[in-house]
Structure 1
């Protein structure tokens, strides 16, 4: 079920995984990046799911101010909405990998478990065995 869709990303519900899925389609920044992430939080809360599958394979560079928003706002709001497990695929583009690397370098400090994967199948498998 698609919950939100734009040219930059899509938020949907994966019934089989009982997880929210965010699929990035390319470059997103500022208000649109936040909108997509906030829609994911809304769906986490609505579905009472603690799992988020973040497909970043097609993602692009994340600006410094957006990285700051993710660290300062998204992490807390997502946890408060029930997020306990997040599986994320690594972007295909080298520059995007480096940008995302700056965000995920703080994964040890997160209030929920988060893990990076090179393939969506690996991320899906990890989420499927992660229990709340």
Structure 2
């Protein structure tokens, strides 16, 4: 696993054996920094030809309504252009974040052609999103 980008509120990992990009939210962020981080994740996903995504929102807090709108209108349509097979989400421990993410997913689920699933733990999400990958099982398990 390689760390491609890090900020005080976000870390982006690449799991090369499975072409998985993992976006790990570390803290609260809103507005332009949130949008720039999401666009950076998209840029890296295109650059590394990812086939799977994992979004860990465990430590992320509330997503403001204006940011939710931007995610639905701008980010998700671009995300849908990636050749993703699976997209896993790890639920936040923050109730308001869970509501916001659920709202975003309801509004844009029709745009995503990949399988999507939400989990309470990162390890469950990682195992699901990498299932059926071309990597040997030992390579997948070593990254958990």
Corresponding residue for 2:118? 116
Corresponding residue for 2:142? none
* 1:84 Cα deviation after fit: 3.7
1:95 maps onto 2:96 in alignment: yes
1:9 maps onto 2:2 in alignment: no
Corresponding residue for 1:128? 130
Q: Which runs of 4+ in 1 moved over 4 A?
A: none
* Distance (Å, rounded) in 2 between the aligned partners of 1:85 and 1:38: 19
Please say which of residues 51-60 and 74-83 is displaced more in the overlay: 74-83
Deviations 1:25-57 (A, max 9, x none): 111111111111111111111111121110111
Please identify the structure whose Cα radius of gyration is greater: 2
- The 1:130–1:29 alpha-carbon spacing in structure 2 relative to 1, beyond 3 Å, is farther
The equivalences for 1:26-105 within 5 A come to 26-105=27-106
* 1:62 Cα deviation after fit: 0.4
What TM-score does the superposition give when structure 2 sets the normalisation length?
0.82
What TM-score does the superposition give when structure 1 sets the normalisation length?
0.89
- The 1:108–1:130 alpha-carbon spacing in structure 2 relative to 1, beyond 3 Å, is farther
- The 1:84–1:36 alpha-carbon spacing in structure 2 relative to 1, beyond 3 Å, is farther
Structure 2 unaligned blocks of 5 or more = 135-144
* 1:83 Cα deviation after fit: 3.2
- The 1:68–1:130 alpha-carbon spacing in structure 2 relative to 1, beyond 3 Å, is farther
